[in-house]
């Protein structure tokens, strides 16, 4: 838990020597508590105090990164239980699992579409996190090799210590996979392996007490980077244990449970339940989510759900203000106007583009607000539209000057005619879905 200024002050030398640039130790402590300065500014702080302050400053959920070849999936680093209290920081990675009993060709055929899958969602590129390779009595090293021939995405390796070692030997030096799992039976050998390769280790246990016990033992063995792997697979069981772990980490700053969580919806063996469990894990504290089935439709749904939960609620998703060309417009084509809230922009742009209608789209700077919100807040009025039209060079793009207002802001048409006297101002439909019919039939 974060320390108060007074608690930090108790750990400082209290000599008021001013070498940190502050008149007193208390003033420095207050700045430290507000995270506005670094402890390094005080040359006299003891090692013991430094360690205590570092411990207090550590995030309640330790960040763990799985990475390879420039790709990475981060888990942890969360500071709240509920997104509306601040925001979530580390979007969970979706991993598709292959088995070492599959042939190299089967593995590559499954991995390739995962590797290539990138989908645009309101201006963000969404993609899968990586591949999980599970030992199942086959040739684990060969399976890892086949995966690596098909993708450079991060890996989760699941098997015994011996099997995992054969897989690790196939990986490049910059690969940092997650090893699964240390249990009460094998934790010593798994600890040795994780230490040898300097990679994070998942800790599997049937209940929270057993998990805490294992994390402590592994910590005493010198490991720091864990991912918690509850063995529950039902909706209720997963929800209960994930929530318990995260509550203990954030509300109680209980360090043995202060790690990201890995969930295995793929274990249920039913594609529909798998998706339901994955959705739950995205919403409730899963950081690494292992699936057996990859379908573009379900991947898109899961990634969009994740995007909606993990974007910062205090910062609207925006596109850059300017003039966008839809379907290669010419000087006779109309100008549509909208705001730079991403969802508004894409609603309009997608509708026009999908119908193949050429048009210009003027996107004004409304600080990421939708049309009605921006209008109500004074960020989308005739003066702003006219100013942005001129600033972005709209008059130079067309010979037939027609500008189409969103239907909900029909009230602006008179003022806009005054601001843009050379232009024909028209009022479009209220909904983007009606735009193509409006352009075809009314213009």
| By the rule CB under 6 A, 28 interacts with ligand SF4 | yes
Q: Is 25 in the site for ligand SF4 (CB under 6 A)?
A: yes
- Residue placing its CB nearer to ligand SF4 in the complex, 11 or 277: 11
**Residue window 37-76: x/- pattern of binding to ligand SF4, with contact defined by CB under 6 A:** -----x-x--------------------------------
Residue 49 or residue 301: which is nearer to ligand SF4 going by CB? 49
| Sequence-separated (6 or more) residues with CB below 8 Å from residue 346 | 122, 123
Q: How far is the CB of 20 from ligand SF4 (least distance, A)?
A: 3
Shortest Å, Cβ 54 to ligand SF4: 16
Tell which one of 16, 244, 276, 308 touches ligand SF4 (CB under 6 A): 16
Q: How far apart are CB 41 and ligand SF4 at their closest, in Å? A: 7
Min dist CB 48 to ligand SF4, Å, is 15
Residues 8, 12, 179, 249: which binds ligand SF4 (CB under 6 A)? 12
Min dist CB 16 to ligand SF4, Å, is 5
- 20 makes contact with ligand SF4 (CB under 6 A): yes
**Beta carbon of residue 38, minimum distance to ligand SF4 (angstroms, whole number):** 12
350 near ligand SF4, judged by CB under 6 A: no
How far apart CA 19 and CA 16 sit, in angstroms, is 8
Q: Please, are residues 60 and 223 in contact by the beta-carbon 8 Å criterion?
A: no
Closer of 33 and 349 to ligand SF4 (Cβ): 33
Residue 13 touches ligand SF4, criterion: CB under 6 A: yes
Q: Could you say which of 1, 10, 18, 442 contacts ligand SF4 (CB under 6 A)?
A: 18
Using a 10 angstrom Cβ sphere, with 0-12 exposed, 13-18 middle and 19 or more buried, the burial of residue 23 is exposed
Q: Minimum distance between the CB of residue 56 and ligand SF4, rounded to whole angstroms?
A: 16
| Number of residues binding to ligand SF4, judged by CB under 6 A | 13
Choose the stretch contacting ligand SF4; rule: CB under 6 A; options: 20-28, 215-223, 230-238, 325-333: 20-28
Tokens of 71: 């790709």
Q: Measuring CA to CA, how many Å separate 407 from each of 326, 423, 425, 438?
A: 20, 17, 12, 11
Does 9 help bind ligand SF4 (rule: CB under 6 A)? no
Residues 6+ apart with CB under 8 A from 407: 427, 428, 429, 430, 431
Give the number of other Cβ atoms within 10 Å of residue 340's Cβ: 25
* Shortest Å distance, C-beta 29 to ligand SF4: 7
Asked whether 29 and 12 are in contact (CB, 8 A), the reply is: yes
320, 123 in Cβ contact below 8 A?
no
DSSP bridge partners of 65: 74
**What is the nearest approach in angstroms of ligand SF4 to the Cβ of residue 253?**
25
Cβ proximity to ligand SF4, 9 vs 360, nearer residue: 9
Dist. CA 211–CA 193, nearest whole Å:
19
String of DSSP letters for 54-117:
HHHHS-SS--EEEEETTEEEEE-----SSGGGS---SPPEEEEEEETTS-HHHHHHHHHHHHH-
- Which CB, 26 or 443, lies closer to ligand SF4? 26
Q: C-alpha dihedral over 19, 6, 256, 232, to 10 degrees?
A: -130
Query: With 0-12 CB in 10 A as exposed, 13-18 as middle and 19+ as buried, what is 361?
Result: buried
Which residue from 286, 401, 283, 265 is spatially nearest to 332, judged by alpha carbons? 401
* Choice from 11, 22, 364, 405 touching ligand SF4 (CB under 6 A): 22
CA 408 remoteness from chain centre:
33
Q: 418: exposed, middle or buried (C-beta count within 10 Å: 0-12, 13-18, 19+)?
A: exposed
- Smaller CB separation from ligand SF4, 49 or 79: 49
**CA-to-CA distance for 263 and 43, rounded, in angstroms?**
45
- Considering only CA atoms, which of 408, 418, 393 is closest in space to residue 335? 393
Q: Does 183 bind ligand SF4 (CB under 6 A)?
A: no
Q: Which one, 8 or 337, has the nearer CB to ligand SF4?
A: 8
Choices 11-19, 56-64, 127-135, 404-412 (CB under 6 A): range interacting with ligand SF4: 11-19
Query: Is 15 among the residues that bind ligand SF4 (CB under 6 A)?
Result: yes
Closest to ligand SF4 by CB, 34 vs 236, is: 34
Determine the Cα–Cα distance for residues 377 and 265; give it in Å rounded to an integer. Answer: 44
* Residues 314-333, interacting with ligand SF4 (CB under 6 A): none
**30 is a contact residue toward ligand SF4 (CB under 6 A):** no
Q: Could you list the residues that contact ligand SF4 (CB under 6 A)?
A: 12-13, 15-20, 22, 25, 28, 42, 44
């Amino acid at each position: 838990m974060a320390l108060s200024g007074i608690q930090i002050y108790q750990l400082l030398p209290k000599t008021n020597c001013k070498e940190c640039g502050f008149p007193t130790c208390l003033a420095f402590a207050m700045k430290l508590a507000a995270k506005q300065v670094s402890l390094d500014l005080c040359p006299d702080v003891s090692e013991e105090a430094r360690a205590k302050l570092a411990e207090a400053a550590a995030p309640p959920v330790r960040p763990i990164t799985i990475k390879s070849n420039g790709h990475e999936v981060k888990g942890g680093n969360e500071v709240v239980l509920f997104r509306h209290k601040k925001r979530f920081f580390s979007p969970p990675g979706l991993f598709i699992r292959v088995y070492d009993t599959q042939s190299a060709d089967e593995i590559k055929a499954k991995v390739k579409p995962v590797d290539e899958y990138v989908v645009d969602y309101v201006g963000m590129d969404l993609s899968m996190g990586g591949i999980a390779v599970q030992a199942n009595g086959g040739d684990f090293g060969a399976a890892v090799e086949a995966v690596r021939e098909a993708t450079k995405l991060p890996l989760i390796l699941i098997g015994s210590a011996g099997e995992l070692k054969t897989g690790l030997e196939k990986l490049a030096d910059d690969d940092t996979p997650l090893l699964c799992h240390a249990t009460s039976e094998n934790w010593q050998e798994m600890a040795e392996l994780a230490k040898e390769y300097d990679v994070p280790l998942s800790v599997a246990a049937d209940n929270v007490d057993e998990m805490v016990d294992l994390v402590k033992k592994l910590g005493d063995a010198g490991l720091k980077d864990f991912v918690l792997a509850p063995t529950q697979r039902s909706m209720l069981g997963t929800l209960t244990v994930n929530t318990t772990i995260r509550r203990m980490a954030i509300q109680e700053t209980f360090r043995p449970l202060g790690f990201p969580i890995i969930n295995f919806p793929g274990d249920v063996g039913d594609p529909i339940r798998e998706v339901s469990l994955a959705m739950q894990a995205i919403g409730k504290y899963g950081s690494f989510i292992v699936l057996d089935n990859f379908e573009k439709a379900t991947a898109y749904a899961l990634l969009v759900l994740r995007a909606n939960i993990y974007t910062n609620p205090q910062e609207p998703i925006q596109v850059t203000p300017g003039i966008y060309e839809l379907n290669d417009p010419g000087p006779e084509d109309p100008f549509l106007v909208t705001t730079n809230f991403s969802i508004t922009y894409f609603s309009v742009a997608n509708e026009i583009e999908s119908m193949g209608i050429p048009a210009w789209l003027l996107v004004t700077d409304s600080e990421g607000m939708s049309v009605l919100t921006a209008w109500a807040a004074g960020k989308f009025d005739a003066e702003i539209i006219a100013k942005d039209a001129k600033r972005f060079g709209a008059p130079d793009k067309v010979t037939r000057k027609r500008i189409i207002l969103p239907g909900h802001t029909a009230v602006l048409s008179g003022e806009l005619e005054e601001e843009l006297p050379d232009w024909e101002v028209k009022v479009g439909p209220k909904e983007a879905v009606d735009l193509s019919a409006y352009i075809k039939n009314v213009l």
